[in-house]
Structure 1
Amino acid sequence: MNFLHGKIFRGGLKAACVPGLNCYSCPAAAASCPIGALQAVIGSSRFQAAYYVAGFLILAGVLLGRAVCGFLCPFGWFQELLHKLPTRKFSTRRLHILTWLKYGVLALFVIVLPMTIVNEVGMGDPFFCKYLCPAGILEGGIPLAFADASIRASLGGLFTWKSCILLGVVTLAVFCYRPFCKWICPLGALYGLFNRVSVCRLEIDAVKCTACGACSQACRMDVEVFRTPNHSECIRCGDCAAACPHGAITRTFSLKTAQKTKETIT
């Protein structure tokens, strides 16, 4: 009902974080976004919440890696729906270098700027949420503006800028698979750092694998699965396992390290 009244839930549960990108200002949000929470207090050691959020992200990363992106992120799901629209689709393999951009966003907008540009009480602006995040304008900005006349009256250039970012992401998502996840999302960048060691992982049966490349062709995250099954871009969707004609790929939840592919695979 908060969508109808232009209100935000402010109960005690908001102190907790969900694993995916979930805007604090969304009328339906019962908990907080870890990226937003981290930015809010990272500039000062006075606030213990920064340690809690960092620990939460590390725990989620070690357990799930980017499986969070594949199954627990609302904005990732939104892009999935857009990509199902019946239009011509384009590969992003040639743009693979852009996947490094999200690490720059993580370092600059989530860590460096909120940590260095702070007010008198040691709190910085949530730079990523404020200037870049399209999930925020979709889940929070637009619904609140529709429902609250006072918010509509205060809209300015920043709202226009964020709306343009959202429009760009929405347009790209129709034609390209998960562009925000691939190129911009700092949460995906952070979880990607844990993909090689996460408990949720892909394993390749070296005996069954023939390096035919069917898995790589099926991967919409542009991963050479038979070579690097736990690449930082893998969201554990399982498309590669479904496409493998030999049943060599399995999605597991195990403390064991991933099996190595045969020495003949280069």
Structure 2
Amino acid sequence: MVKKFKRTIIQCLSSVLMNANITGFWKGKIYTGRSKNLCLPILNCYSCPGALGACPIGSLQVSAGCSTYGISFYVIGFLALMGVLFGRLLCGFLCPFGFIQDLLHKVPFPKLKIPQKLDRIMRLGKYLVLAFLVLLLPLLVADSYGSTIPYFCKYLCSVGTLEGGIPLVSMNKPLQATIGWLFSWKIFVLGIVFLSSMIIYRPFCKYLCPLGAFYALFNRFSFYRYYIDWNKCTNCGVCSKICPMNVVPVKSPNHAECIRCGLCKNKCTQNAIQVEKITGIHFKEENHEKNIQK
């Protein structure tokens, strides 16, 4: 319980620090200081009045749609570095929208477990969002002036609606007069995400988040990894039952869907789930099935 509380504190501090321009919320203005030139390692809307940095997915779309600069290798390089170092640990500990979903899931509401086969298919959604809405469409679809639309931000990003759209519209009467179908659509999508978060653990992270999809590609190779100490593991199954992301740690402790929340590690009575040391490799994933059968 103590370790889980510590993670909550880290999530809370991360959300506050990355959106520390408090005056922006009652002034209804976006912070435009120098720090906005730097990308954050997590999904956090550039248009949030409190945001001190830029959203990497938004930055990637803007650069991809710009005929002058093309796709930003700085953003890709930065995200790749974060992926190599931490994998989806960033999703589990630093992402404000992930934190909001965690809180919503605590609401006493009937929980839904999606069938495994359907869940696997639905999880491909975030990779499709990354490939098409974030990369391909901004790169390939441009107007006569060489500019394009940040499709993910404009049509699907619930983070932008919550952090940027709602605060700015509520504080600016001129913007309220321009509200149309698009804002209504984004509010509808946000409502669906909020409602489903009460029923399903982190649905946006599982099925829609392109940044989660990007970091998932590095989970097996990141410096921050899990390993199973087979001298301690009894194959009791507690870790797989408790995992909110529906991962089976004893089969794949570094599964692409693992957000490193640490719940399996904390609940293991034998202390068999450990953090991988960068200097040594304690296991080979291809031997997991053999070890499980023992």
TM-score of the superposed pair, with normalisation by structure 1: 0.95
Deviates more, 1:69-78 or 1:85-94: 85-94
Kindly state the Cα deviation for residue 189 of structure 1 after the two structures are TM-superposed.
Answer: 0.3
Match of 2:132 among 105, 108, 112: 108
> Aligned with 1:264: secondary structure?
helix
**Residue-by-residue CA offset, 1:122-163 (whole Å, 9 max, x unaligned):** 332110000000000000000001100011111100000110
Deviates more, 1:120-129 or 1:180-189: 120-129
> Aligned with 1:250: secondary structure?
strand
Q: Does 1:171 align with 2:195?
A: yes
**Residue-by-residue CA offset, 1:231-250 (whole Å, 9 max, x unaligned):** 00000001111222211101
Match of 1:242 among 241, 257, 266: 266
**Superposition map of 1:69-80 within 5 A:** 69-80=91-102
**Superposition map of 1:134-145 within 5 A:** 134-145=158-169
Kindly state the Cα deviation for residue 97 of structure 1 after the two structures are TM-superposed.
Answer: 2.2
Identify the residue that residue 221 of structure 1 maps to in structure 2: 245
Identical counterparts, % of pairs: 48
Q: Are the structure 2 counterparts of residues 265 and 226 from structure 1 closer, same or farther at C-alpha, using a change threshold of 3 Å?
A: same
Identify the residue that residue 290 of structure 2 maps to in structure 1: 263
Deviates more, 1:228-237 or 1:4-13: 4-13
**Residue-by-residue CA offset, 1:18-76 (whole Å, 9 max, x unaligned):** 11110000000010100000000113573277111001100000001001100111110
Structure 2 unmatched ranges of 5 or more: 1-22
> Aligned with 1:200: secondary structure?
coil
User: Runs (4+) of structure 1 moved beyond 4 Å?
Assistant: none
What's the RMSD between the two structures over aligned residues?
A: 1.7
Q: Does 1:60 align with 2:85?
A: no
> Aligned with 1:174: secondary structure?
helix
Question: Residue 148 of structure 1 aligns to which amino acid in structure 2?
Answer: N
Q: Are the structure 2 counterparts of residues 37 and 54 from structure 1 closer, same or farther at C-alpha, using a change threshold of 3 Å?
A: same
> Aligned with 1:203: secondary structure?
strand
Separation in structure 1 between the aligned mates of residue 147 and residue 36 of structure 2, nearest angstrom? 19
Q: Are the structure 2 counterparts of residues 222 and 100 from structure 1 closer, same or farther at C-alpha, using a change threshold of 3 Å?
A: same
Q: Are the structure 2 counterparts of residues 246 and 62 from structure 1 closer, same or farther at C-alpha, using a change threshold of 3 Å?
A: same
Identify the residue that residue 36 of structure 2 maps to in structure 1: 14
**How many residue pairs align between the two structures?**
266
Separation in structure 2 between the aligned mates of residue 173 and residue 72 of structure 1, nearest angstrom? 18
> Aligned with 1:227: secondary structure?
coil
